[in-house]
Amino acid sequence: MSTPLDPLAIRRISASPSPNPSIRNGNVPAVAKLVDIGLCIGCKACEVACKEWNDLGVEDTYNFGSYQSHKALTPNTWDLMLFNEVEINGGLQWLIRKDSCLHCDEPGCLLACPAPGAIVQYANGIVDFNQDKCIGCQYCLVGCPFDIPKYDPKSQKVYKCTLCVDRVGAGLEPACAKACPTAAIKFGTKDDMLAEGKASVDRLKQRGFVNATLYDPPGVGGTHMMYVVPHGDRLADYQLPTNPTPRRGGLGVLGAWKWAGAGLLWAGTVGLAVHFIRFRGARIDAIKARERELEEQEGRR
């Protein structure tokens, strides 16, 4: 499956007030990864492939009582198998999930980023960080509803999955999808992946997983990595937010407040200018006269 990535077809650029160059966007099909959790055997081949392709190096790990290799994503671990242990119907279940950037269509990280060009969204939906423009403020960590971007104190930059933008640009599938031995990770156009995902959900339902669902949360405009979730009623156990939004908590109010605040400050500036024009000039002499008057009064005390 090859879908060309047109590097010129950029949909959104962080912190850029000018309109984005969207004239060619309609010509580029949106891409997506589909992670079919029902097919995943927890082999971690995707983790290794991600490390290898992106040259991220080995990170020390230790036994913290789980089959997971790390507790969470790190600046140089962009793909991590979460081994969530849950009791269902009296038996242990591993609600395994491949955790990596979901590439939101409305990316909270990009909307929160104050550095022009540090985060871009290509027309095909891939959200990518440009570390050379990153200022290390970590506002993307606040904006992301999935807790994906990770800050590296050494380089003072933030890192995350690129959806193998370099492979996709060369007509290849992402490294994780290439390595997956059970085709639990598929890659293609978003439309194709939606169709495959729905078919998979239907199959799961026929086999008794009545709550099976396709995770493509509308709150963030849908994602360019979707999950087929067998236990769709237990999203929290998969460590997936039920209704993620790109503007969490105070960020929703912040956008409006910034305009209001700027308005207040400009109104104040105009007010001061009006005061200056209205009262300066002749009144200064009056102040001086009043000062002399008070001095004379004080002298007579």
Partner 1 sequence: MEAARAQQQAVPADVKRYNLFEVVLHWLTFASFLICLGTGLAFAYPRLFWLTNFFGGPQTSREVHPWAGIAFAVGLLLMLLLWGLDELPAAGDMQWWRRLGAYVSLGDAYHENGRFNAGQKLYFWVMLLAGVGLFASGLLLWQRDWSGAEARSWMRLVHNVAFVGSFGFLMLHVYMSVAMYPGTLGAMLHGRVTRGWALLHHARWYRKKYGLQ
**Interacting residues toward partner 1 by CB under 8 A:** 15-17, 114-116, 133, 135-139, 141-144, 147, 151, 156, 248-251, 253-254, 257-258, 261-262, 264-265, 268-269, 272, 275-276, 279-280, 283-284, 286-288, 290-292, 294-295, 298-299, 301
Whole-number minimum distance, CB 263 to partner 1, in Å? Answer: 10
Residue placing its CB nearer to partner 1 in the complex, 208 or 250:
250
Long-range contact set of residues 20-25: C-beta below 8 Å, sequence gap at least 24? 22/123, 24/123, 25/123
Rounded CA separation 236/211 (Å): 14
For 126, what's the count of Cα atoms within 13 Å in the CB-facing half-sphere? 32
Cα–Cα separations (whole angstroms), residue 122 to 24, 72, 106, 162: 11, 27, 12, 11
How many CB atoms sit inside 10 A of residue 240's CB? 21
Nearer to partner 1, 7 or 114 (CB): 114
> Whole-number minimum distance, CB 187 to partner 1, in Å?
29
DSSP for 174-240, please give it.
-HHHHH-TTS-EEEEEHHHHHHHHHHHHHHHHHTT-TT-EEE--GGGT-BSEEEEETTGGGGGGGT-
Q: Which is nearer to partner 1, 181 or 268 (CB)?
A: 268
Minimum gap (Å) between residue 115 Cβ and partner 1: 6
Nearest distance in Å: CB 299, partner 1 = 7
* Cα separation, 164 vs 64, whole angstroms: 30
Tokens matching residue 107: 């990316």
Give least dist CB 198 to partner 1, A.
Answer: 32
Count of other CB atoms within 10 angstroms of residue 151: 18
Choice between 12 and 44, CB closer to partner 1 = 12
Minimum distance, C-beta of residue 235 to partner 1, in the bound complex (Å): 18
Q: Closer to partner 1 at the Cβ: 89 or 297?
A: 297
DSSP 146: T
Smaller CB distance to partner 1: residue 17 or 90? 17
Cα dihedral sign for 221, 183, 63, 52? negative
